[in-house]
């Protein structure tokens, strides 16, 4: 098989650049919290496949359940011939979701598909057309979910027109000067300026924004939203695709607030790496759509359902909700200590709900500009972080192992992301690179914002080495790519 550089070349020739990849290393195998690339380098995987691997890579119990299902059948399409694992999972999710009303669950494949279906169901159940979402929120990459997503670059730019009857209100964010009252007032302005509340089918919100920077919706705000929805007959949808299944120390993040939504969208860590999503909702709402109106060829694939049932067992048996709280406490404690020690006051906030923790950097007195950037630990430890580029540390620890390993200071392997860089540099479009004592330069990506093209990429001795460690994920016009080793 080709090495990383060879595969990167083949990827460039065969795969469109719109599918950006954070790191130009190619996976060979993975186990629990660790991953090995095609050149045999070992990494601790802090990304967990974008918050998909709360139970780690290839958990033995999940793999056994998958194997057993594969030995029986892998697909029938639930709409043609139904099967027990789908029903068992729906029963389990209905029991787990907050609220003591009867519930029903539809299973699908991707997160965006779950959100699309929640909106379809809300529209049919209410007979209304409007949907209100929040600025900075992320709900997917299909046309409807892109419309709901409250972030133009890089998700929506140039891809309109979007479906109509979608409205955005500001997400309450005290750090950036948006109060709960401001957000509620903005929703009232939507009711006055854009659409009457009697025509709004649903309000959709992430209890903690995932792609948007790990901002937690204040509990009082969720309570007020619930009241507002009840007052106007609007359905409240909690998008828990990123926050679900133990990530925040509860099975669903909204449980922290005590608010009971009408529908919850789920995906990602539900099936430990297998594509599966769902909508859990009040039974009468879920039954509003007549037969044939919902579904999809692959929705609720039996192998993915078997994986999900095992994932739910593992979360319970291994006490992963408590573990998420412990990791969150440890991480926020350490990061707050770091923030208190930094004399430059470059850290404007350390925040978290359970293990979903972010650190936000500010430049001087102004906060980092809006838009989240997923970064590695290396950046946190960097002294020269540059102006306003870096915003949040995304903590997608797979369980168990990564945190323990980090705590033990295990730094074997050249690719260990927890290693503290000895030197940091910064290019004009936001790439931060560091040279390690091992003589490997590790680069991490930051959003290049409106980079016009590299001017300083050639600077320094580190340019052009034998391996590509990171390319810039531009999502815009910058085509620059840094080769470092």
Residues that bind ligand PMP (CB under 6 A): 50, 110-112, 115, 138-140, 206, 210-211, 239, 241-242, 267
The least distance separating ligand PMP from the CB of residue 205, rounded to whole angstroms, comes to: 10
Three-state SS letters, 283-301: HHHHCCCCCCCCCCCCCCC
DSSP annotation string for 268-286: GGGGTTS--EEEEEEHHHH
Complete DSSP assignment for 326-360: HHHHHHHHHHHHHHHH-TT--EEEEEEETTEEEEE
Smallest distance, ligand PMP to C-beta of residue 103, A: 20
Beta bridge partners of 32: 57
DSSP character for 100?
A: S
The residue among 267 and 432 lying less far from ligand PMP, judged by its C-beta, is 267
**Which is the catalytic residue, given 26, 138, 171, 191?**
138
- Total length of the chain: 485
Name which of 55 and 434 has its Cβ closer to ligand PMP.
55
Task: Check if the beta carbon of residue 372 is closer than 8 Å to that of residue 335.
Answer: no
Q: For ligand PMP, give the closer residue by CB, 145 or 441.
A: 145
Cβ-based nearer residue to ligand PMP, 374 or 376: 374
> For residue 55, what are its two tokens?
């139970």
In the complex, least distance from residue 212 CB atom to ligand PMP, rounded to whole angstroms: 9
Q: How far is the CB of 417 from ligand PMP (least distance, A)?
A: 20
Closest distance to ligand PMP from the beta carbon of 206 (Å): 5
**Residue 172 CA: distances (Å) to CA of 135, 144, 176, 245:** 9, 23, 9, 24
* Annotated active-site residue in 45, 239, 262, 473: 239
Tokens at 162, concatenated: 């979007």
CB of 193 to ligand PMP, least distance (A): 27
Q: How far apart are CA 25 and CA 87, in angstroms?
A: 39
241 near 276, Cβ under 8 Å? no
Q: Which residue is nearest to ligand PMP (CB)?
A: 111
To ligand PMP, the closest distance from the beta carbon of 323 in angstroms equals: 21
For the four alpha carbons of 425, 47, 327 and 172, in that order, the dihedral sign comes to positive
Nearest distance from C-beta of residue 142 to ligand PMP, angstroms? 7
> Do 268 and 111 form a contact (C-beta atoms < 8 A)?
yes
191: annotated active-site residue: no
Beta bridge partners of 348: none
Please pick, among 103, 268, 419, 467, the residue that the annotation labels catalytic: 268
Please, what is the angle between helix 180-193 and helix 219-232, to 10°? 20
In the complex with ligand PMP, which residue's Cβ is closer, 243 or 332? 243
* Whether residue 268 lies in the annotated active site: yes
Q: What is the DSSP string of 112-159?
A: HHHHHHHHHHHHHHHT--EEEEETT----SSHHHHHH----TTTTTT-
- Under 8 Å CB-to-CB from 84, ≥6 apart: which residues? none
Q: Where are the alpha helices (DSSP H) in 29-103?
A: 48-51, 60-70, 84-96
Nearer to ligand PMP, 374 or 471 (CB): 374
Query: Which of 25, 238 has the CB closer to ligand PMP?
Result: 238
3-state DSSP assignment of residue 67: helix
Catalytic residues: 138, 239, 268
């Amino acid at each position: 098989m080709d090495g990383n550089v060879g595969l990167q070349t083949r990827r460039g020739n065969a795969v469109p650049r719109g599918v950006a990849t954070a790191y130009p290393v190619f996976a060979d195998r993975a186990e629990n919290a660790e991953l090995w690339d095609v050149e045999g380098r070992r990494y601790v995987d802090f990304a967990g496949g974008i918050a998909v691997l709360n139970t780690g890579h290839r958990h033995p119990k999940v793999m056994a359940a998958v194997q057993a299902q594969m030995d029986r059948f892998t697909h029938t399409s639930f709409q043609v011939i139904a099967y027990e694992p789908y029903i068992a999972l729906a029963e389990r999710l209905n029991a787990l979701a907050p609220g003591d009303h009867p519930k029903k669950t539809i299973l699908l494949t991707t997160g965006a598909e779950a959100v699309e279906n929640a909106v379809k169901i809300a529209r049919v159940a209410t007979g209304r057309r409007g949907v209100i979402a929040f600025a900075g929120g992320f709900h997917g990459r299909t046309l409807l979910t892109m419309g709901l997503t409250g972030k133009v670059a890089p998700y929506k730019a140039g891809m309109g027109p979007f479906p109509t009857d979608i409205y955005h209100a500001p997400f309450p964010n005290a750090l950036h000067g948006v109060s709960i009252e401001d957000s509620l007032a903005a929703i009232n302005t939507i009711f006055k300026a854009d659409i009457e509340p009697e025509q709004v089918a649903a309000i959709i919100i992430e209890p903690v924004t995932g792609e948007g920077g790990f901002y937690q919706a204040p509990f009082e705000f969720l309570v007020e939203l619930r009241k507002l929805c009840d007052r106007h007959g609007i359905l409240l949808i909690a998008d828990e695709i990123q926050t679900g299944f133990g990530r925040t120390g509860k099975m669903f993040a909204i449980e922290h607030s005590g608010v009971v939504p009408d529908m919850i969208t789920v995906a990602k860590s539900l099936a430990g790496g297998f594509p599966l999503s769902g909508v859990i909702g009040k039974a009468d709402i879920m039954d509003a759509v007549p037969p044939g109106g919902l579904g999809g060829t692959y929705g609720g694939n039996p192998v993915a359902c078997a994986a999900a049932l095992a994932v739910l067992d593992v979360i319970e048996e291994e006490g992963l909700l408590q573990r998420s709280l412990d990791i969150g406490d440890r991480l926020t404690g350490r990061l707050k200590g770091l923030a208190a020690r930094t004399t430059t006051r470059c850290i404007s906030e350390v925040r978290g709900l359970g293990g979903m923790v972010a650190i936000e950097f500010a430049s001087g007195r102004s906060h980092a500009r809006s838009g989240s950037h997923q970064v590695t630990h290396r950046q946190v430890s960097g002294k020269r972080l540059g102006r306003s580029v870096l915003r949040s540390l995304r903590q997608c620890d797979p369980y168990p192992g990564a945190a323990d390993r980090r705590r033990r200071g295990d730094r074997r392997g050249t690719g260990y992301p927890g290693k503290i860089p000895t030197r940091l540099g910064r290019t004009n479009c936001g790439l931060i690179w560091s040279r390690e004592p091992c003589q490997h330069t590790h680069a991490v990506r930051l959003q290049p914002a409106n980079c016009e093209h590299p001017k300083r990429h050639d600077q320094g001795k580190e340019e052009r080495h034998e391996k590509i460690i990171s390319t810039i994920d531009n999502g815009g016009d910058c085509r620059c790519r840094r080769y470092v080793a």
